[in-house]
Structure 1
Amino acid sequence: MQSKKFLLLTWMLITLIASVTMAQHSGTGNGKINGLIKDSVSGAPLEYATITLLEKTSGKVITGNTSNSAGRFTLSGIVSGHYRLVIEYMGYRSYVMEDVFVNSNANITIPVVHLYQSSKALAAVTVTGQTKLIDNRTDKMIYNAEKDLTSQGGVAADILRKVPQVSVDVDGNVQLAGNGSIRFLINGRPSTAFGSSIADVLQSIPASQIKSIEVITNPGARYDAQGLGGIINIILKQSTTRGVNGSVSLTTGTRVENGSFNFAARSGNFGINTFISGNTRLAVTTPSSSSRHSSDSTGSSLLNQDGSGRFKRHGIESGIGFDWTLQKKNVITGSFNYNQFGNNNLSNLHQQQTLRDLTGATIFEQQIVSNSGNSYKFHNIDASLDYKRTFAKEDQELEISVNSSFGHSRTLAHNEQFMLPNDSLLYGVSNINPGKENETQIAIDYTQPFTQKVLLGTGGKITFLDINSDAAVQSLHTGLKEYQYDGALSNNLNYHQKVYALYAELSFPVAHLFDVKMGSRYERTETTSFYSNAPGQAAAPGYNTLVPSIYFSRKIGDKQLLKLSYSKRIERPDYGDLNPFINTSDPKNITAGNPYLKPEIGQRVELGYSVDIANIGSLMATAFYRHNGQDIQPFVKYYTDLQVGDSIYHNVSVSSRENIGTEKNTGLNLFADLHLSSKLGFRTNVFMFHRHIINEIDKGNDRSSFNYRINMNATYQILKDLAGEFFGNFNSARNEVQGKYPSFTTYNIAVRKQFWNKKGSLAFVAVNPFNEYVNQRLVLDGPNFTQTSLRKIPFRSFGLNFTWKFGLLEVKKERETDNSDLNMAP
């Protein structure tokens, strides 16, 4: 039934596209003007340059556009006639073509336009532009976070909640198009920080540090195949403007405190940028309760828990980078970053265990107080060096890059349990778990244009991943009343993975109907591992993965884009999932790794449509279908008796990651960004999908569910330098293979005042001001057990953010030359 609904929605979408297309093209010409805009010194493409076409005699504006990230632009729907073409860019001299003749059926490509920077010295200039909130491109979507008001003073997770197809739960866990398997990048590069705790990283990057977020749901052949949900690339702020400039951002609040400092300097062909930012999530107390009912052939068991935990986290990120252009065609860039993250949690629980026989009579009852705590610390160094060579032939490029990330982690955990009413110590365990994770990638990419619109991209990459971990566990010896080393629970591992990759992709037009980008990526994965307490050290055979991808896109005029794409992806289980270490910090709720996990394979088809509606705004619709085989999900099993080493644990649940079977998702995303007046703006996003899970572990217990997410954002320019904004978000309950994860509602209110000629601003942000807690009720059920739990998470907060931008732009004076002659040169 859901598939029929999806087909109906898709058909309605296609019909709408056809109707809009026919309406917009009625009575217009078919002439087109194409062009490319570059900086005259560096040869770099200029994005967001303004192109205006005017009637030659009357000066009336006929049409206009802006250049894309590659510096390219297209003006279409032009009737026959003589025109004046004007190209403008902030800080550069305008370029004018006084007489451009267009035939109504002609497709004209003007010579490359090289803009020269203005000869004037611009002192303390603040550059502002009307960058679109969402930039929808052929293979990715860009969310321009700098335009976001309510996220000021927040963190990366707060911005991600506003991105179409992305959802973030109350704990900071992220899903893209309903899938949590995401490849996270920072400035286009991987980091070992994401391999340790994605939630910690996203909760520790201040929103003021983020320029934009790129979302790639169907990555092409050039990208790594890892990550079923796709890729999220967080672009941090850095300036490419000449001179000295920077910014400072400070936030104080009831739950979050953070700050960031950015500095950039550029002279001639050399530029340097540096930043440092930090975040503290202040300690909060979270009340919780749970109830688990289980049964077997002898009777039933009821475990009730009630208590609270006190949690806090922190993070620091810093980095320095440079770019150096040599003889216009050679660019060397490099970066060096240091990051540190951590969290701490202390909890106190009251547990009551009741056992009954088959008649319902109580045969055992026990009350326990459990005190536990854990702390996690991680720091890493990321380093990169890139060389890019351009050639005389347009779009011909060679790029060689080396990226390395070196991470160190340390986890401390302990638990003590006291029997009531005498407070006698009956259980104790503590562990220290240091680890190292090093990753290095060496890549080469080459692009060869055959014609202006036919490009071949090819390249290769080698990835080396090395992980070492050592968990030393001390257990309480009740007879001796002292802690001793526990070899059954202790574990050390050595994990080494190599991935060799080759790819090729070809971009070309099919007549004037649509553009195609198709490619394939081959990856060879080889893994060697040693787990000290695994039953056996079976060799892991290497395996080959071939991941094809294809994009069809059609630009309808200057304002509409239609896309159809397909990609195949893989999710390799990480060492944390594979490590057979058994965590008994809570002896009633044990967690363990699974060294027998297989890679998960996913395939995804996506149909998208976007349109810019003059001064009103933009609309975007995306429909998709995804199929995951060997689907990896958390899975809980209940044991009446479980032996670990020499110890036997009674009436316990064990949670691990399993290949549960097959998952199918069909969904639709609708996004609108509307400017209702010169002062009032409104945007909304609706994401809905149907999920069907075929359970191969607990056969017959398949799951089908409908999931959705709705958010809306309203902005109002109260005064010239005073703006207000409201953002509300609702995530429906999420159904997985064993249960129902809770829904989530949040809303933000923000007011920002600008001053110092808009170089300074002060923003007040309130999050859930009328609700102290977000209640999270979780329901799980599996073979022989059901479990419900409730957490009351403090979410209400108030914050004050101060931002100051500073700088002196010194633009080098160029030799006065006839700009039009240079730009018309072949």
Structure 2
Amino acid sequence: MKAILICLFIWLSIGLQAQPTAHAGENGKITGKIVDSVTKTPLEYATITVMDKSSGKILTGGASNDAGLFTIASVPAGDYTIIVESIGYRKMTLLLVPVQKGKTVDLKLIRLIKKDQDLSAVTVTAKARLVENKIDKLIFNAEKDLTTAGGVATDLLKKVPQVSVDVDGNVQLAGNGSIRFLINGKPSTAFGSNVADVLQSIPASQIKSIEVITNPGARYDAQGMGGIINIILKTNTAKGINGNVSLTAGTRVENGAVNFNARNKNIGLNAFVSGNTRLPVSTPYTSERNSTDTVGKTNTLLLQNGNTRLKRYGLQSGMGLDWTYKKHNSFSASVNYDIFGTSTNGLIDQVQQNSNYNGSLLNNLVTLNNTDSRNRSHNVDLSFNYKRTFAREDQELEFAVNSSIGRTRGNAANEQFLMPQDSLYYGVMNNNPGKENETQVTLDYTQPLSEKIQLGTGVKTTFFDISSEAAAWGYSPLNKDYLYAAGLSNNLQYHQQVYAGYAELSFPVGKLFDVKAGGRYERTEINSYYSNAQQQVKKPGYNTWVPSLFLSKKIEEGQVIKLSYSKRIERPDYEDLNPFVNTSDPKNITAGNPYLLPELGQRVELSYSRDIGNIGSVILTGFYRHNQQDIQPYVKYYPSLIVGDSTYYNVSVSTRENIGTENNTGLNIFSDLHPTAKLGLRTNLSFFHRKIINAIDVGQSRTSFNYRMNLNVSYQFSPLLAGEFFGNFNSARNEVQGRYPSLTTYSIAMRKMIWHKKGSVALTATNPFNEYVKQQLDINGPGFTTTTIRKIPFRSIGINFTWKFGKLEFKNEHKEEGSDMNNL
């Protein structure tokens, strides 16, 4: 609040005391850029005050934008004193700054030095934007959210512009689920097994911010059709020893996290550990499938009624070290270790009725199914980074090596008993271990060609290897024992190399707009082996040219319009390619598809953002996306199906296919408004029209209109007590084979600061008045229709405790940069 009052005072003084002495056309301008003296990071919302040299009265002023840049126009000719201030930094005073008529005074780089003070003496109350709108990405500052206290990453993603999450935790970005997920800007093989499980195992208290890049530039990998979501975990680069502890207890989620940071001069250490568990819950469901066998001229009705019990857990830990050598050389290294797992078991009553076309009942089979499955993965992520800066501002050389080693194991079993005899007639057990390794070697260089023109270029090599082995055993009623099933067992070896190079140029087009244009070339080589293939076919390598273009125009103060274009590719991952055929439910088989082709897409985006000062901000984003070889879940029905040496009857097979072409046109409206100092209103509305052209089942194309909306209301009852409400609605949506259900959720939270704001206690509740969320899924294809209804436990009540400890020390390491005159 102190910072806000200072800003208001400056602006009020400007309004009362400014006395222009010349016409605007004869006045001059003052420009410059404000950065941190050590890290060179641009400082946003720094205040610049222009004072008359002789009278000492404030004449005019301004504030820096998110790039640290500022422009103060209509300054009469004369000599002035310039005062530059930012929260947590020493004030800088520039004396005798001359301004001439019709001229621009460029103060160039103004380096502010951090103050010397400890954490207990610092109260930072200036409100940074909840969502920051950069030229090529949006940044959601997750630390400012209340209702996700004690939640997980999925809960935060529900609130991010253009992002939607369904009841199972599956994420879509602008209507597309093919997203490239990163942790601290680096890939992890953890996301190759089950993205939803990983996101629901990362505590929200561990996340600092979420970056959303819908149209990535040439510097980014082309992978990720929907774009990139980068999850930034909490660290602290200030000097001293500090950290935080977060603990949550709840009816559905329990988690905890500890962060520790230590920094002395030019060496810093960060370590963290966090754990999460979703307590076991039972999900009742019913399923009805009607199918037709045109050859046998029979109709089959399959009814399933039962429940599944699910438990989910996760553990993340990591350590990072960074060292700055002789100011211009920065080294950093980190190692993370993660474990994620789920266990599911259930009982299913099943009835299968076969009848002929005349409606006469041919047979009625009643069975009881007992299912059990466990999936576990652990990952080690290693990274090394070297960054070289130069005396010239923005000139940088960066070298990085990132490696992720993943191990997964899935086990499943199913026993089926004929009723009412209660005799075991079918059983299968399987074991599916897998390995997934990814290594990236990157070299990037940035060269300023002039004050406003900058060239970026680089190369990257990515090595991606998958190994999967599946062993299955089937029950033999004759031997009353489980025998090895060679036909259901298989293995996959998949090796992929991507060689990439890019160039990106940033420059202004006069005073019309700013441009960032780039191109990326990627060469992909694949070598694969699938044991059950009748013939091994070598996949030829292919080239991908990925152009990108960003145009940005500042209409007037606080208003920006942006137009961007990018091309993307979606290469299949482990979960897509894994050839293991899961027959644990012999009526509903699942399998990967090792023959998937990469998906290609192009996207155009137009956005308008307006900063309304203390009132808030609004962002409007329209887009059009075209996908080829679109990868989607796909279900096929078979009256009889041979898998290995076994034959399955009346079975559906769920896999992923290149279904054809998909076109999306959409609009997103995001607003973050503060009608009063205590009240905050945040809305997020998404609308898009989707057309899917089905190339597999010609004539079964789909067209639909989908929308999503949420509302976040926060209120600061006192400096120590705040409350928040969040409501979310996702409309039902049509996919290539059916209609997926709508979803309504709501959350409330209260947070009380304690211990001089070093600690806090938060109470949260999600859907407190509804125990279940009812979801009806309708799927249809050639020869079958399926309706599934699930009642998913969703009510959750929890309490979160957070404590920040330690001190921050800001030392003046570069006194020579503190001179008031070295920036002129």
User: TM-score scaled to structure 2, two decimals?
Assistant: 0.94
Residue 615 of structure 1 aligns to a residue in which SS? Answer: helix
For residues 612 and 32 of structure 1, the distance between their equivalents in structure 2, rounded to whole angstroms, comes to 22
Map of 2:189 onto structure 1: 192
Answering whether residue 642 of structure 2 is matched by residue 643 of structure 1, we say yes
1:236 shift after superposition: 0.5
Q: 502-511 or 646-655: which moved more?
A: 646-655
Counterpart of 1:307 in structure 2 is 306
Q: Which residue of 2 aligns with 1:380?
A: 379
Give the aligned partner of residue 472 of structure 2: 473
Residue identity in the other structure for 1:327: K
Q: 1:48 aligns with which of 44, 53, 57?
A: 44
Q: Distance in 2 between matches of 1:111 and 1:815?
A: 19
The two structures, once aligned, show a CA RMSD in angstroms of 1.9
Instruction: Give the partner amino acid of 1:181.
Output: S
Q: Report the Cα distance in structure 2 between the residues aligned to 1:342 and 1:770, rounded to whole angstroms.
A: 30
The more displaced of 476-485 and 125-134 is 125-134
- Mapped to 1, the partners of 2:375 and 2:434 lie a distance apart of 11
Are 1:221 and 2:236 matched, yes or no?
Answer: no
> Quick one: structure 1 residues 97 and 772, their matched pair in 2 at CA, closer, same or farther if it must change by over 3 Å?
same
Residue in 2 aligned with 1:75? Answer: 71
1:622 to partner: Cα distance: 0.2
Which residue of structure 2 lines up, in the alignment, with residue 24 of structure 1? Answer: none
Q: Equivalent of 2:280, from 279, 283, 288?
A: 283
CA apart distance, 1:126: 4.9
* Residue 452 of structure 1: how far off its partner (Å): 1.2
Deviations 1:116-172 (CA, angstroms, capped at 9, x unpaired): 333556656454431100100100000011111111110100000000000011111
Q: Is the 8 A contact 1:119 1:814 kept in 2?
A: no
Query: Cα distance 1:104–1:426, how it changes in 2: closer, same or farther (>3 A)?
Result: farther
Residue in structure 1 matched with residue 720 of structure 2 by the alignment: 721
- 3-state secondary structure, aligned to 1:488: helix
Contact 2:29 2:75 in 1 (8 A): no
Tell me, in whole angstroms, the C-alpha distance in 2 between the residues paired with 1:794 and 1:88.
Answer: 52
**8 Å contact from structure 2 (residues 30, 73) kept in 1:** no
Judged with a 3 Å threshold, the aligned counterparts in structure 2 of structure 1 residues 119 and 596 are, in CA distance, closer, same or farther, namely closer
Equivalences for residues 511-660 of structure 1 within 5 A: 511-660=510-659
- Per the alignment, residue 483 of structure 2 pairs with 484
- 8 A contact 1:49–1:87 mirrored in 2: no
* Residue type of the alignment partner of 2:270: N
Contact persistence 1:37–1:115 (CA under 8 A): yes
Letter in 1 for 2:183: I
How far has the Cα of 1:702 moved from its partner? 1.0
Counterpart Cα distance in 1 of 2:167 and 2:596: 28
Q: How many matched pairs? A: 796
Structure 1 residues 572, 100: closer, same or farther in 2, change over 3 A?
Answer: same
Q: CA separation in 1, counterparts of 2:138 and 2:383?
A: 25
Residue 210 of structure 1: aligned partner: 207
Q: Which residue of 2 aligns with 1:11?
A: none
Structure 2 distance, partners of 1:139, 1:273, is: 29
Q: Residues 720-739 of structure 1 correspond to what in structure 2 (within 5 A)?
A: 720-739=719-738
**C-alpha contact 1:565 1:605 (8 A) present in aligned 2:** yes
Residue number in structure 2 paired with 1:19: none
- How big is the shift at 1:231? 0.2
Distance 1:108 1:733 in 2: 57
Consecutive unaligned residues in structure 1, runs of 5 or more: 1-26
CA 375–61 in structure 1, closer or farther in 2 if over 3 Å, else same: farther
Verify the 8 A CA contact 1:112 1:823 in the aligned structure 2.
Answer: no
Q: CA deviation at 1:88?
A: 2.2
CA offsets 1:625-684 (integer angstroms, 9 cap, x no match) = 000011111111111111112211111111111111100000000011110101111010
Change (3 A) 1:352 1:206: same
Instruction: Answer yes or no: is the 8 Å Cα contact 1:205–1:279 preserved in 2.
Output: yes
Deviations 1:609-634 (A, max 9, x none): 10101211101000000000111111
Partner secondary structure for residue 621 of structure 2: strand
Deviations 1:564-609 (A, max 9, x none): 0000000111243233322111100111222322111000000001
The 5 A counterparts of 1:424-463 are 424-463=423-462
1:344 Cα deviation after fit: 0.6
Alpha-carbon distance, 1:32 to partner: 4.9
Pair 1:34–1:367, CA change in 2 (3 A)? farther
- The answer for the alignment partner of 1:4 in structure 2 is none
Cα distance, 1:781–1:717 mapped onto 2, change above 3 Å: same
User: What CA distance in whole angstroms lies between the structure 2 residues aligned with 1:164 and 1:473?
Assistant: 44
Q: Which residue of 2 aligns with 1:137?
A: 134
Cα gap change, 1:454 to 1:696, in 2 (>3 Å): same
In the TM superposition, what is the alpha-carbon distance from 1:555 to its structure 2 partner?
1.8
Change (3 A) 1:695 1:43: closer
Can you list the C-alpha shifts for 1:15-65, whole angstroms capped at 9, x where unaligned? Answer: xxxxxxxxxxxx98896543233343x353243361223443564474432
C-alpha change, 1:335 and 1:34, in structure 2 (3 Å) is: farther
Q: Given residue 619 of structure 1, which amino acid in structure 2 is its aligned partner? A: V
Q: Which amino acid aligns with 2:560?
A: L
- CA-to-aligned-CA distance 1:396-449 (integer Å, 9 cap, x gap): 110000000111111110001001110111110011111111111000000111
Output the amino acid matched with 1:725.
E
Q: One-letter code of the match for 1:308? A: N
Query: Who is 1:3 aligned against?
Result: none
Unpaired segments ≥5 residues, structure 2? 1-22
3-state secondary structure, aligned to 1:204? coil
Output the CA distance in 2 between the equivalents of 1:690 and 1:813.
Answer: 55
Task: Report if the CA contact (8 A) 2:111-2:817 is conserved.
Answer: no
Q: CA deviation at 1:531?
A: 1.3
User: Percent sequence identity over matched residues?
Assistant: 60
Given that 1:76 and 1:558 are in contact with CA atoms closer than 8 Å, whether structure 2 keeps it comes out as no
Q: Does 813-822 or 731-740 show the bigger shift? A: 813-822
Question: Which residue does the alignment assign to 1:767?
Answer: 766
The residue number in structure 1 matching 2:4 is none
> Offset at 1:819?
3.9
User: Cα 1:325–1:479, aligned 2, differ >3 Å: closer, same or farther?
Assistant: same
> 2:794 — aligned with what?
795
Give the corresponding residue for 1:295. 292
Cα distance 1:341–1:122, how it changes in 2: closer, same or farther (>3 A)?
A: closer
Q: Kindly tell me: are residues 500 and 814 of structure 1, through their superposed partners in 2, closer, same or farther at Cα, counting changes over 3 Å?
A: closer
Q: Does 1:415 align with 2:411?
A: no
Instruction: Give the distance between the partners of 2:331 and 2:817, measured in 1 at CA.
Output: 31
Q: Which amino acid aligns with 1:240?
A: T
Q: Does 1:272 align with 2:256?
A: no
| Corresponding position of 1:782 | 781
Question: Aligned in 2, Cα 1:644/1:732: closer, same or farther, shift over 3 Å?
Answer: same
For 2:108, what is the secondary structure of its paired residue? coil
**Partner residue of 2:177 out of 176, 180, 184:** 180
Could you tell me how far apart the structure 1 residues matched to 2:810 and 2:217 are? 38
2:33, 2:70 within 8 Å by CA — same for their partners in 1? no
What whole-Å deviation, never above 9, does each CA across 1:244-289 have from its counterpart, x for those lacking one?
1111111000000011111111111111111111111110010000
For 1:556, the aligned partner's letter is I
Go from structure 1 to structure 2 and tell me whether the alpha carbon gap of 1:679 and 1:645 turns closer, same or farther (over 3 Å shift). same
Confirm or deny: 8 A CA contact 1:63 1:75 kept in the other structure.
no
Q: Secondary structure at the match of 1:556?
A: strand
Q: Distance in 2 between matches of 1:129 and 1:618?
A: 16
Q: Deviations over 1:53-100 (max 9, x none)?
A: 3443564474432453x5x32235545455543322344311122454
Report the AA paired with residue 62 of structure 2. Answer: G
Tell me the distance in 2 between the aligned counterparts of 1:543 and 1:818: 51
Instruction: Give, in angstroms, the shift of residue 533 of structure 1.
Output: 1.2
Q: Give the TM-score taking structure 1 as reference length.
A: 0.94
1:442 and 1:461 in contact (8 A); partners too? yes
Paired residue secondary structure (1:111): strand
- Structure 2 distance, partners of 1:770, 1:382, is 41
Aligned to 2:91: 94
Structure 2 residue aligned with 1:38: 35
Which position in structure 2 is the counterpart of 1:359?
A: 358
The equivalent residue for 1:662 is 661
Alpha-carbon distance between aligned partners in 2 of 1:217 and 1:476, rounded to the nearest angstrom: 49
Q: 1:101 to 1:295 in 2, by over 3 A?
A: farther
1:169 to 166, 169, 172: 166
CA distance in structure 1 between the aligned counterparts of 2:513 and 2:104, rounded to whole angstroms: 15
